[in-house]
């Protein structure tokens, strides 16, 4: 009867579990037992305890985005913010002096947050409006896409050649054949940014 029970798979699992529990108990005991005197590497020394102790488990806690406005760079002035769509309708009008603009974050540099593109109430304009930060002095969070943004800075208007526009269109996965002739390029160098995430 004893021999038949020993050959039963369940008995083997029980035996294996008992052996594993014994090893785990020995490892835990080695971790908390004070080191014994003796030559380095002998039983009970820190070297042996470190070798037999189970690896530490690092607990990662999810961090929720901050509630309320997030401020980056210089404080914004008290001037009223102009909607991005109004700036796009007459960009030269806003290119002479710093302006405060309200928009949404369309895209963000995923490496360090050193640039973003903007979207207005009508969606993301084509070509995109790219925002950089004065003197590379601050960045924004790389997960800020979709946040409402108020920024202050200088608008610049330039002309982008057809070849360059087609190249950028290909990079964005768009059809370059839809681009004919040079296009107006609008960029903003921001001195300060205020972000408000959805739900804040």
Mean pLDDT by 10 residues, the chain (200 residues): 46 42 40 43 44 50 67 97 95 91 95 93 86 95 96 93 80 79 90 90
Strands 99-108 and 82-83: parallel
d(CA 72, CA 152): 11
Report pLDDT for 85: 96
Q: For residue 35, which of 25, 22, 26, 45 has the smallest C-alpha distance? A: 45
Beta-carbon contacts of 186 under 8 Å, excluding residues fewer than 6 positions away, are 87, 88, 91, 125, 127, 129, 155, 156, 157
Report pLDDT for 198: 83
Strands 148-160 and 183-196: antiparallel
pTM of this prediction exceeds 0.75:
no
Report pLDDT for 59: 53
Distances from the Cα of 41 to the Cα of 4, 28, 69, angstroms:
44, 18, 57
Evaluate whether 153 touches 98 at the Cβ level (below 8 Å). Answer: yes
Tokens 């090893």 appear where? 23
Beta bridge partners of 181: none
Distances from the Cα of 124 to the Cα of 66, 69, 134, 178, angstroms:
25, 22, 23, 17
Q: Is 163 helix (H, G, I), strand (E, B) or coil?
A: helix
């Amino acid at each position: 009867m004893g021999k038949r029970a020993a050959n039963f798979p369940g008995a083997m699992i029980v035996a294996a579990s008992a052996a594993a529990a014994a090893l785990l108990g020995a490892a835990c005991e080695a971790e908390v037992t004070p080191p014994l005197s003796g030559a380095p590497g002998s039983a009970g020394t820190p070297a042996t305890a470190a070798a037999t102790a189970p690896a530490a488990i690092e607990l990662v806690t999810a961090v929720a985005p901050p509630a309320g406005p997030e401020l980056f760079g210089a404080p914004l002035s008290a001037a009223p913010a102009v909607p991005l769509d109004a700036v796009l309708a007459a960009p030269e009008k806003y290119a002479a002096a710093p302006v405060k603009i309200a928009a949404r974050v369309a895209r963000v540099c995923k490496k360090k947050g050193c640039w973003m593109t903007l979207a207005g109430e009508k969606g993301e304009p084509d070509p995109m409006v790219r925002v950089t930060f004065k003197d590379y002095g601050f960045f924004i969070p790389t997960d800020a896409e979709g946040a409402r943004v108020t920024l202050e800075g200088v608008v610049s208007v330039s002309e982008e050649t057809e070849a360059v526009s087609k190249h950028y269109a290909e990079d964005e996965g768009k059809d370059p054949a839809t681009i004919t002739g040079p296009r107006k390029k609008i960029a903003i160098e921001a001195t300060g940014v205020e972000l408000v995430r959805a739900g804040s």
